[in-house]
Amino acid sequence: MIDRGKVYNMTTVRRLSAIAGVTLSTAMLLLTTLLAPEARADGFSLGGAANYAVLYEGTGGHNLSISNVTVNGNVGVGGSGVVQFSGPGTISGELDFSAGNTGQYHNTNGSNVGPTSVNFSVAAVTSDLSLVNSLSTSLGAEAGTSIVINGNQTINASSGKLDAAGNEVFTVTSYTEGNGNVLTINGNGHNVVLNLAVSGNPQLGGDVILTGGLSDGQVLWNYTGTNNLSLNNNASSFPLPDAFMGIILAPHAAISLVNANLDGNVYGGDSSDMQIVSGTTINQAITTPEPSSLALLASGLFGLFGFARRRLNS
């Protein structure tokens, strides 16, 4: 086993990596990651749902309309939900249905690209939807720091109410962001939860910039209401940060993304149609590996290097 307290020079790392069967660049990257102090945000976990850019409830056989859009990630559909993929458009990942009815998928444009595969009877879709629904309910019941989001402004995560799980929780009582407005969220090492307690139909918009090491997979926009929720930021231009960032979770609401750029995921839709249309681009959120995954990776790497050292010594 490699001594974590020992300093390895480049020659040693090069020889160990060659014997262990990994490239020098891979060895250096893994060593840097695993020997450095852990920098992982605390807070909510999406579990397997993190594998999906879009998760649609599909209750009652309603439609998920994907038209003239780009979805860079996987799409999951629960219940008897039907996907209407018109366009032209692109789905760069897989399309998974929890049910086994092959009639739930309709591709009506010959210029569409993807999905990479269409899969039925995927049990993970049901369990992942159940997980995020429970997450929405539990987080939505928490009383966060009350804020109004209006125009260009900065929110410091440290001003939220830190819950037992390590989330900085805010209660958004009003949201008014138009095209060209920028909301900056400055992180502090914890995940950020923004519970939308706005009246009427929540209308998200504007751009979101994340600083202080905060990533899109660590920001949750949680709406537990039953009104319509929409995102339209006039298709702010990629590359980042010109996009709305974070995970939109609305299990009981009708959801529409129209001419929007979302760097994150969108989950929910209940027993209503979900609209992802008119030039929308979704880039699936980047999530932080769980500690168990990092530990497994570390164990494997140090085991390989330990084997290489024994061979060198012999």
Residues 35 and 153 in one domain: no
Q: Are residues 148 and 78 in the same domain?
A: yes
Judgement on whether residues 53 and 173 belong to the same structural domain of the protein = yes
Are 120 and 181 found together in one domain?
yes
Looking at the fold, whether 123 and 251 belong to one and the same domain comes out as yes
Residue 3 lies in a domain: no
Among 221, 231, 220, smallest CA distance to 257 is for 231
pLDDT at 73 over 80: yes
Same domain flag for 167 and 274? yes
Q: In whole numbers, what is the pLDDT of the chain averaged over residues? A: 84
pTM of the model: 0.80
For 166-202, what is each residue's pLDDT tens digit?
Answer: 999 999 999 999 888 999 999 999 999 999 999 999 9
Note whether residue 4 is domain-resident.
Answer: no
Residue 1 lies in a domain: no
Domain extent, residue 20, equals 10-39+290-313
Count how many domains the chain has.
2
**What is the Rg, in whole angstroms, of the alpha carbon atoms belonging to the chain?**
22
Q: What is the pLDDT of residues 92-128, one digit of tens each?
A: 999 999 999 889 999 999 999 999 999 999 999 999 9
Residue 186 shares a structural domain with residue 107: yes
68 and 93 inside one domain: yes
Residue 279 inside a domain? The answer is yes
134 with 238, same domain: the answer is yes
Helices 291-313, 24-35: inter-axial angle, 10-degree rounding: 120
